[in-house]
Amino acid sequence: MLTRSLLFLFFFNFFSAGFIYAESTQLGGTITNTQARSAELTYYKDLVNFKEVKVRLILDTSGEFKANLDITEPLVCKFHFSTESYTLFLSPGDDLHLTMDARYNNSKITFVGQGAAHNNYLIEKERKFGRKMQGNVRYQLTKLGHEEFKELVDRLYNEQLSLYQSYEKTSKFTPTFAAFAKADIEYWRAYHLLQYRWEHSANWEDPLELPQSYYSFLDEITINNDEALQSLNYTYFVADFLNYKTHERKQQGDHRTYPFENAAAYFSDKTLAYIQLNEWNRKLKVKPSSATLAEAEAFISNTDYKEYARILSKTFLKANQLTPGKMAPDFSLVDINGNAVNLSDYKGKVVLLAFWASWCNPCLHEMPYSKDLLASFSPSKVEFIYVALEKSKPTWQNYVRKHNLTGQHVFANGIYETEIAIDFDIQSVPYYILIDKEGKIAKNPATKPSFGGLKEDIKSLLEGKKL
């Protein structure tokens, strides 16, 4: 049950969010020499759950489009056209117009209007240091010695910094954009240099040992940098820096070998809160214990960063809804013959809810085990409902029929964006949930059929025992 304080906080966050002042931000453009009728703008709601928001931009017969976005803070997003994508930086109140000749990709993109200085710089950076450079750096991670790799990254870092400084001299960058742009370069370098010890040897258990002098770059940067949190490169750096320090401590005999446990030694304020948010958010999504629920609730109630409280409160509420003893969300989906199947129809039976897909090899590996397991129980007492997170109904139907799969099979008509996947917070497949005879969640996640133990859990539920 939600505590009174959490309910108050949730409703406070819910209603107060509506009163955050949002400014209208205009993004328009003209794309010439194209038959395409749309482009797309995407961005993440937050850098924790990475839920992507998509805005379709409709082109008229002249290739013109216009979009109005209500945003409360600067937004880093992607503009997609044809096979290309470009990073944009939008600030509240911007009035930005893009001109593009589709024949020449990013070599013929320019911006005018409020916010143009930021985005003309980003397009030029994309031209000089785009996917080709990034791909080369990733390739050289495994090929070059550590000194040669560091020289390569430092050279590219200085070239990026030089480009930024040349634009900064003649452009009016806002302080927020300047902080973002510099951080994106600084932590691009730091992240890739830290990645070398793992990816050069591709040994994820025991990273490559490097001389201490290699890590001198860490003395040249700000480790705890709240202003950099809008940069994905900084968030990558933070995670890898904690892994690096944890490995270092482990070698020195420190038993705190989990990165999160060491975070407060290096980070504070908003960056530390961001790390804590990610930790509780992750734990809430993987069978949260009562201790995890209590710790997450304390973070929501006590953090100084209310945007973080809002993010975690949503995950917290969903985690509470999907914990043992709560009623499983009902659903209605069609079976292989087009008949409606409702979860509520199976009250009185123990149900194994199995989320899978024919494109998922680990899912297919589990099928023979679950088929044998289902055959060991009376169909009047136990049912396995297989929810196919698929987009192609014929592909799903053909697979089920070809392999003579038993149990009740239903079609979700999509993958993780479907209502049932959202209701049950399915992030990956295969995923299993046990539901008792009253329609309540008994175990989430349930043990995979191939692991053993699932049969005993089902027997316990048939006997009216709690797991």
pLDDT tens-place string over residues 252-289: 777 666 778 889 999 999 999 999 999 999 988 876 77
Q: How far apart are CA 357 and CA 231, in angstroms?
A: 34
- Spell out where 103-235 has E strands: 109-114
DSSP letter for 127, please: H
Q: Looking at the whole model, is its pTM more than 0.75?
A: no
pLDDT at 20 over 60: no
Collapsed DSSP state (helix, strand, coil) of residue 250: helix
| pLDDT for the residue numbered 12 | 45
Flag whether pLDDT at 40 surpasses 80.
Answer: yes
Residue 391 has pLDDT above 80, yes or no: yes
Q: Do domains 22-120 and 332-462 have the same CATH topology?
A: no
Evaluate if residue 119 carries a pLDDT over 50. Answer: yes
- For residue 460, pLDDT beyond 80: yes
Which token pair is 241?
A: 């820096």
Average pLDDT over residues 384-392: 95
pLDDT bracket for residue 321 (50, 70, 90): confident
Report the pLDDT averaged over residues 314-343: 89
Backbone angles phi, psi at 428, to 5 degrees: -155, 160
Q: Is 366 exposed, middle or buried (0-12, 13-18, 19+ CB in 10 A)?
A: buried
**With 50 as the cut, is the pLDDT of residue 335 above it?**
yes
Q: What is the pLDDT of residue 256?
A: 62
* Percent of the chain predicted with pLDDT > 70: 93
Query: Confidence class of residue 205 from pLDDT cuts 50, 70 and 90?
Result: low
Which residue has tokens 């107060």? 16
Mean pLDDT of 449-461: 94
What integer pLDDT is reported at residue 319 of this predicted model?
Answer: 80
Structure confidence at residue 331 as a pLDDT band (50, 70, 90): very high
Specify the CATH architecture of the domain 22-120. Answer: Sandwich (2.60)
Higher pLDDT, 131 or 144: 144
Q: Identify which has the larger pLDDT, 280 or 134.
A: 280
Amino acid at 87: T
* CATH hierarchy code of domain 332-462: 3.40.30.10
Q: How far from 193 is each of 34, 111, 221, 271, CA to CA, in Å?
A: 41, 33, 13, 21
**Cross-strand partners of 42:** 54, 78
**Residue 17: per-residue pLDDT:** 44
Does residue 21 have a pLDDT over 70? no
Q: Which two tokens stand for residue 294?
A: 């209590």
Between 108 and 451, the more confident residue is 451
Structure tokens at 410: 């239903």
Residue 14 has pLDDT above 50, yes or no: no
Domains of the chain, residue spans: 22-120, 132-267, 332-462
Beta-strand pair 350-356/84-90: unpaired
